[in-house]
C-alpha cells in the first residue's frame, strides 16, 4: 500500500512556506485515480478544492495538440501539411517549408510571442489579431534547423485547423476533445458564470483588467497556447487519456504513439541533438519528452508531459505506471527563482512515494 503522507505534507508545506497561496496534487497509479489533496487558498475568497478551476497555462498546448490529432485521424489534416496551403497570409518564400508538424514541435522558426505582448493584452486584442501578428512575424532561423518554444506556433496551428474545417478552434477543442473525453469541468474559453471559481494566479502577465488568467478578457481569449482552465480531477482525467495503463482514450493507438514520440526529425534518444547551428529537444505533438532533460528529475527517460507558467505540471511515466498533475497559483514571474524547484519537488515526492 502506498503511503501518501509525504505527498500530502509536501502540498501542505508549500502553502505553509508561502511558496504559493494554494495548491493541489492528484495522482493515478496503473491507470486509476489514487490520490487527491489540496491546501491553501485558490483566491482570497475561495479555498483550494475539487471545484476550483485552475488556469493550466501552457498545458493548454496538449489540448490543442489533441484536437489537431483528432482531425489527423479523420483525414481532415496531415502533420506534413504546408501551413501556407491553409493560410494564404503565410505564403512567403521564407515560410513555404513550414508544416503543421513544425508548428507543433517548436521548430518552425517563429518567435515565442510578440515583443509587445503585454501592450497587446492591455489593448484587448482579439485572438484573430494575435494570429495575424504571428503569421506576419519574421523567422528567427530557417525552419527545422533549431527550436524556439513558441506560443505563436500553437496559435497558428489552431488557425490552420479552424480554416480547414470552417469551425472556430474553441468549438473544435470542445467537440473533439472535451466532450468525448468526459471533461465536463474544463473550459476553453471560460464562460462568465464560471469566473468566480477560477484560481487567482499571483504574478500573472497583464494589468488587472487584461491579465492572462485573472481577467474576464484573458479568460475569454481562448488562446490555443494558454487558454484552458480545469478542475484538478478533470486535469487528471485528461492525462489518463494519454496513459497506456488507463482504459480512457479518445485517440487511436497510432495517434497516441505519434503524440508521445519524437516528431522533430532528430530521432535521437538524448536530451537534445546539437549540430552546427542546431539544438533541438525531443518533442511530440504537444508533449515534451523527457529524454535526459534536467527537469522533471526523478521520472524515467521514457516519460512525457508539459508544464504551465501558472505553476502547473502534467506528467505521465509509463515505466512507473503513474500519471501526476500538480496545480498551484504563483506564476513564474511571481517567483522565478523558486518556480522550477516547486515543480520538481512535486514530481520528486510523488515518484519517491509510488516506486
Q: Which of 15-29, 152-166, 256-270 has the lowest mean pLDDT?
A: 256-270
Distance from the Cα of residue 312 to its chain's centroid: 9
Record the pTM: 0.96
Span 198-238, pLDDT tens digits = 999 999 988 888 889 999 999 999 999 999 999 999 999 99
Mean pLDDT of 259-263: 95
Domains and CATH numbers, the chain: 5-354 (3.40.710.10)
Instruction: Tell me which of 125 and 293 has the higher pLDDT.
Output: 125
Instruction: Tell me which of 337 and 246 has the higher pLDDT.
Output: 246
Q: Which of these, 172, 188, 178, 133, lies nearest to 156 by C-alpha position?
A: 133
H or E stretch covering 308: strand 304-308
How many residues make up the chain in this entry? Answer: 355
Cα–Cα distance measured from residue 200 to residue 16, given in angstroms and rounded to the nearest whole number: 18
The answer, yes or no, to whether residue 113 has pLDDT greater than 60, is yes
Q: Look up cell 490555443; give the residue.
A: 224
Cα–Cα distance measured from residue 14 to residue 247, given in angstroms and rounded to the nearest whole number: 33
- The per-residue pLDDT for 155 is 98
Confidence of residue 139 (pLDDT cuts 50, 70, 90): very high
How buried is 34 (Cβ within 10 angstroms: 0-12 exposed, 13-18 middle, 19+ buried)?
Answer: middle
- The per-residue pLDDT for 210 is 84
- The per-residue pLDDT for 291 is 76
The answer, yes or no, to whether residue 157 has pLDDT greater than 70, is yes
Instruction: Judge contact between 97 and 107, C-beta under 8 A.
Output: no
State what percent of residues in the chain have pLDDT above 90: 88
Per the prediction, the chain carries an average pLDDT of 94
User: What beta strand segments (E) does the chain contain?
Assistant: 22-29, 32-43, 46-47, 54-55, 186-187, 229-230, 273-275, 278-280, 288-289, 304-308, 312-317, 322-328
Span 314-334, pLDDT tens digits = 999 999 999 999 999 999 998
Q: Which of these, 102, 147, 145, 139, lies nearest to 276 by C-alpha position?
A: 145
- The per-residue pLDDT for 103 is 98
- The per-residue pLDDT for 209 is 81
Instruction: Tell me which of 129 and 93 has the higher pLDDT.
Output: 129
Give the three cell numbers for residue 63: 489540448
Amino acid at each position: 500500500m502506498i503511503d501518501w503522507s509525504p505527498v500530502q505534507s509536501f502540498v501542505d508545506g508549500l502553502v505553509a512556506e508561502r511558496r504559493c497561496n494554494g495548491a493541489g496534487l492528484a495522482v493515478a497509479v496503473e491507470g486509476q485515480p489514487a490520490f487527491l489533496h489540496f491546501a491553501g487558498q485558490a483566491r482570497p475568497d475561495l479555498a483550494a478544492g475539487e471545484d476550483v478551476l485552475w488556469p493550466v497555462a501552457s498545458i493548454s498546448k496538449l489540448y490543442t495538440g489533441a484536437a489537431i490529432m483528432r482531425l489527423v485521424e479523420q483525414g481532415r489534416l496531415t502533420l506534413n501539411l504546408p501551413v501556407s496551403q491553409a493560410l494564404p497570409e503565410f505564403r512567403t518564400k521564407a515560410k513555404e517549408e513550414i508544416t503543421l508538424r513544425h508548428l507543433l514541435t517548436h521548430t518552425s522558426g517563429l518567435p515565442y510571442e510578440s515583443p509587445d505582448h503585454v501592450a497587446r493584452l492591455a489593448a484587448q486584442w482579439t485572438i484573430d489579431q494575435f494570429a495575424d501578428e504571428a503569421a506576419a512575424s519574421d523567422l528567427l532561423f530557417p525552419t527545422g534547423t533549431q527550436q524556439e518554444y513558441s506560443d505563436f506556433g500553437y496559435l497558428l496551428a489552431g488557425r490552420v485547423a479552424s480554416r480547414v474545417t470552417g469551425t472556430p478552434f474553441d468549438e473544435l477543442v470542445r467537440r473533439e476533445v472535451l466532450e468525448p473525453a468526459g471533461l465536463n469541468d474544463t473550459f476553453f474559453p471560460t464562460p462568465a458564470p464560471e469566473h468566480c471559481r477560477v484560481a487567482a494566479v499571483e504574478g500573472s502577465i497583464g494589468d488587472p483588467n487584461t491579465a492572462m488568467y485573472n481577467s474576464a478578457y484573458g479568460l475569454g481569449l481562448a488562446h490555443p497556447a494558454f487558454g484552458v482552465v480545469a478542475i484538478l480531477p478533470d486535469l487528471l482525467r485528461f492525462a489518463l487519456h494519454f496513459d497506456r495503463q488507463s482504459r480512457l482514450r479518445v485517440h487511436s493507438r497510432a495517434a497516441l504513439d505519434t503524440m508521445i514520440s519524437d516528431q522533430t526529425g532528430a530521432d535521437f534518444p538524448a536530451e537534445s541533438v546539437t549540430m552546427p547551428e542546431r539544438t533541438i529537444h525531443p518533442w511530440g505533438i504537444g508533449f515534451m519528452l523527457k529524454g535526459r532533460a534536467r527537469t522533471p528529475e526523478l521520472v524515467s527517460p521514457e516519460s512525457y508531459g508539459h508544464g504551465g507558467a501558472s505553476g502547473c505540471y502534467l506528467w505521465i511515466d509509463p515505466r512507473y505506471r503513474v500519471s501526476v498533475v500538480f496545480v498551484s497559483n504563483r506564476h513564474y514571474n511571481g517567483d522565478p527563482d523558486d518556480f522550477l524547484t516547486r515543480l520538481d519537488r512535486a514530481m520528486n515526492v510523488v515518484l519517491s512515494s509510488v516506486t
